[in-house]
Structure 1
Amino acid sequence: MKPEDIVDLVKESQLRGRGGAGFPCGLKWTFLPEPDGGRRYLAVNCDEAEPCTFKDRLLIDFDPHLVIEGIAITCYACRLDTAFFFIRGEYRHQVKVVENAIKEAYDNGVFGKGIECYLHRSAGAYICGEETGLLEAIEGKRAWPRIKPPFPAVKGLFGRPTIVNNVETLAAVCPIVTNGVDWWKSMGCESTIGGPPSYGPKLMGVSGHVNRPGVYEVDLGIPLRTLVEEHCQGMRGGKRFKGAIAGGISMGVLGPDQFDAEMDFDIGRKYHVLGLGTACPTIFDEDTDMVAVTRNIARFFMNESCGQCTPCREGTRWMYQILLRIEAGDGTSKDLDLLLELGGSMGAMPGTTICGLADGNNWAVRTLVNRYRDEFEARLKPVSSSIGRGRQPKQVVSL
Structure 2
Amino acid sequence: MDLHFGDSKPTDEERAAVDALLGPPESSWEGAARDEMRAADLRWARGGREARDRRELLLPGLHAINDRIGWISEGALDYLCRRLTVPPAEAYGVATFYAMFSVEPRPATVLHVCTDLACAAAGAPQLCAGIEERLGLGSGVSVERSPCLGLCERAPAALAVKAGDPVRTAVSAPASVQEAVLAASSPGSAPEEPPVALAVPQAGQDGLLLLHRVGVVDPASLDDYRAHGGYTALRRAFELGPAGVIREITDSGLAGRGGAAFPTGRKWQATASQPDHPHYLVCNADESEPGTFKDRVLMEGDPYALVEAMTIAGYATGAHKGYLYLRGEYPRALHLLEHAIAQARARGLLGDDVLGQGYAFDIEIRRGAGAYICGEETALFNSIEGYRGEPRSKPPFPVEKGLFGKPTAENNVETLVNVLPILTMGAPAYAAIGTPRSTGPKLFCVSGTVQRPGVYELPFGATLGDLLALAGVRDGLRAVLLGGAAGGFVRADELDIPLTFEGTREAGTTLGSGVVMAFDDSVPLPRLLLRIAEFFRDESCGQCVPCRVGTVRQEEALHRIVERTGVDAAGDIALLREVGRAMRDASICGLGQTAWNAVESAIDRLGAYE
- TM-score relative to the length of structure 1: 0.88
Q: Which moved more, 1:61-70 or 1:127-136?
A: 61-70
Aligned-residue offset at 1:222: 1.2
CA distance in 2, matches of 1:202, 1:37: 34
Contact 2:251 2:428 in 1 (8 A): no
2:448 matched to 1:202?
no
CA distance in 2, matches of 1:48, 1:294: 21
Give the direction of change, closer, same or farther, for the CA distance of 1:45–1:316 in structure 2 (3 Å limit).
same
Q: Give the corresponding residue for 1:312.
A: 547
Q: Give the corresponding residue for 1:293.
A: 528
Residue 334 (structure 1) aligned to one of 551, 571, 576: 571
Aligned-residue offset at 1:49: 0.5
Q: Give the corresponding residue for 1:324.
A: 559
SS at match of 1:109: coil
Aligned-residue offset at 1:82: 0.6
CA distance in 1, matches of 2:557, 2:568: 7
SS at match of 1:74: helix
CA distance in 1, matches of 2:248, 2:552: 46
Q: Give the corresponding residue for 1:172.
A: 418
Residue 252 (structure 1) aligned to one of 488, 498, 506: 488
- The 5 A counterparts of 1:60-209 are 60-113=299-352, 114-190=360-436, 197-209=437-449
Aligned-residue offset at 1:187: 1.7
Counterpart amino acid of residue 361 in structure 1? A
SS at match of 2:531: helix
Q: Which moved more, 1:36-45 or 1:313-322?
A: 36-45
SS at match of 1:345: helix
Aligned-residue offset at 1:332: 3.1
SS at match of 2:443: strand
Contact 1:243 1:259 in 2 (8 A): no
Stretches of structure 2 that go unaligned for 5 or more consecutive residues are 1-239, 353-359
Contact 1:325 1:331 in 2 (8 A): no
CA distance in 2, matches of 1:242, 1:315: 28
Stretches of structure 1 that go unaligned for 5 or more consecutive residues are 191-196, 378-399
CA distance in 2, matches of 1:22, 1:104: 33
Aligned-residue offset at 1:316: 0.5
Residue 595 (structure 2) aligned to one of 361, 377, 394: 361
Contact 2:374 2:380 in 1 (8 A): yes
SS at match of 2:609: helix
Q: Give the corresponding residue for 1:7.
A: 246
Aligned-residue offset at 1:295: 0.8
Give the direction of change, closer, same or farther, for the CA distance of 1:2–1:209 in structure 2 (3 Å limit).
same
CA distance in 1, matches of 2:392, 2:278: 20
SS at match of 1:188: coil
Q: Give the corresponding residue for 1:391.
A: none
CA distance in 1, matches of 2:472, 2:603: 29
- The 5 A counterparts of 1:37-56 are 38-56=277-295
Q: Number of aligned residue pairs: give it.
A: 362
Question: Which structure shows the bigger proportion of residues in helix conformation?
Answer: 2
Contact 2:345 2:351 in 1 (8 A): yes
Contact 1:72 1:115 in 2 (8 A): yes
Aligned-residue Cα RMSD (Å) equals 1.4
Q: Deviations over 1:215-244 (max 9, x none)?
A: 111111211111111x11232xxx232111
Q: Deviations over 1:133-186 (max 9, x none)?
A: 000011011000000000010000101100000011110111111110122123
CA distance in 1, matches of 2:531, 2:302: 33
Contact 2:287 2:375 in 1 (8 A): yes
Contact 1:343 1:365 in 2 (8 A): no
Q: Give the corresponding residue for 1:382.
A: none
Residue 515 (structure 2) aligned to one of 273, 276, 280: 280
SS at match of 1:327: helix
Counterpart amino acid of residue 105 in structure 1? A
